[in-house]
Amino acid sequence: MRELNIGSKNYTIVNAIDEKGIGNANHEYSIVEANIEIPEVYVKVKFQNGAIKESGVNGCQNEDLIAIVIDRLKGFQSGDFSCVDNEMALIKLEESLMCLRKRTQDRVNRGVECLSVK
């Protein structure tokens, strides 16, 4: 397990819980409560490990998590928590999602990725 130096260190700890695998990336993460002896696991995230053409769908995509945060920030922006910082974060996340979708489409066009599983 490897602790990432990100997150809200006062409240949560983000850990890579598996060894690096395909693509030299980790594929499983946990977010746990900080500052207690036995931390509560708030969420585990399992990412796709390997190309869908060869491995099938076996986890979520980066785009899935970005979409969740975009939805959450849009909610904040439509309510009492609207602010410039949220708007800037929303813009950057939407740009990031666009870049990742373009990457996927480029891979589909080259025939190295498929958009659906048979």
Q: Read off the pLDDT of residues 38-72 as tens digits, 9 standing for 90 and up.
A: 889 999 999 999 888 888 899 999 999 999 999 99
92 φψ region: left (φ > 0), alpha (ψ -120 to 50), beta (else)? alpha
Q: State whether residue 74 is helix, strand or coil.
A: helix
The winner for highest mean pLDDT among 10-19, 29-38, 94-103 is 94-103
pLDDT at 9: 67
* Neighbour-count burial of 6, counting CB atoms closer than 10 A to its CB (0-12 exposed, 13-18 middle, 19+ buried): exposed
More confident residue, 5 or 88: 88
**Which pTM does this prediction carry?**
0.86
Handedness of CA 64, 101, 48, 93 (dihedral sign): negative
Q: State whether residue 118 is helix, strand or coil.
A: coil
More confident residue, 43 or 111: 43
pLDDT at 54: 85
Q: Which two tokens stand for residue 61?
A: 């995509």
pLDDT at 98: 98
